[in-house]
Amino acid sequence: MKPQDILLGKNSLWIFGYGSLVWKPDFKYKKSKVGYIRGYKRRFWHGDNFHRGDDEMPGRVVTLIEDDDACTWGTAFEVIGTQMEECLKYLNMRESVRGGYITKLVEFFPHGQNQLPVPAVVYIATPENPMYLGPASPEEIAAQIIVCKGNSGHNIEYLLRLAEFMRITCPDVEDTHLFSIEAAALTLVPILLASKKSVSVL
């Protein structure tokens, strides 16, 4: 879907976030709701040479992978009126130009009773993107994440904040992929720090 087509005939728009958008939307919105989308699983399979890494050491950030049996939890933000164009312009730069994500329209299911699903825009990085890295073990992904940083900060901040969001906001949702990478990273950080200390002592 082309970004300019998203706004046609609309006076309100929902944006679904499942990565850094859940803890750092950085655009104006009317309201937000926690919920999920169906048919996708969240994976740290996309490479990032701008926000959380660079060309030499690309970071690992999340994307969505199609999977009929899966659902992904996150937050959707409703933007209205003039906020819509501003928001899409901002996200086009942040997610598409700098992050390599494309836009798709999905159905967002807000958490809670008597809530109807709404169409929402989501940013996804596909395997066709040159920065796409694909699967790796939690230990390999964690080892990459703990050493990378980019213009938006350390890659581990991205991981820990996303894990914190899921733990606090969606405590009943099991996200084995995310939490196994978080656990591996927390095991590796002291080893990394100790190795840096011993190098500086020599």
Place of tokens 């901040």: 157
Determine phi and psi for 174, rounding to 5 degrees.
Answer: -90, 125
Q: Is 52 in the site for ligand SIN (CB under 6 A)?
A: yes
Residues 118-147 touching ligand SIN, rule: CB under 6 A, are none
Q: Is 29 in the site for ligand SIN (CB under 6 A)?
A: no
**With CB under 6 A, what is the number of residues at the site for ligand SIN?**
12
Smallest gap, in angstroms, from Cβ of residue 152 to ligand SIN? Answer: 4
Of the pair 104, 117, the CB lying nearest ligand SIN is at: 104
Helices (H) and strands (E) in the chain, counts: 5, 7
Residues 58-117 touching ligand SIN, rule: CB under 6 A, are 61, 94-95, 99
- Cβ-proximal residues to 5 (8 Å cutoff; 6+ apart), any chain: none
Of the pair 24, 167, the CB lying nearest ligand SIN is at: 24
Whether 95 is catalytic: yes
Interatomic CA distance for residues 93 and 76, integer angstroms: 19
Range list of β-strands (E), the chain: 12-17, 31-48, 59-80, 102-110, 118-124, 149-150, 153-154
Q: Is 152 in the site for ligand SIN (CB under 6 A)?
A: yes
Interatomic CA distance for residues 97 and 109, integer angstroms: 28
Smallest gap, in angstroms, from Cβ of residue 196 to ligand SIN? Answer: 24
User: Three-state SS for 194?
Assistant: helix
The contact set with ligand SIN (CB under 6 A) reads 19-21, 24, 51-52, 61, 94-95, 99, 152, 158
Active site residue ranges = 95
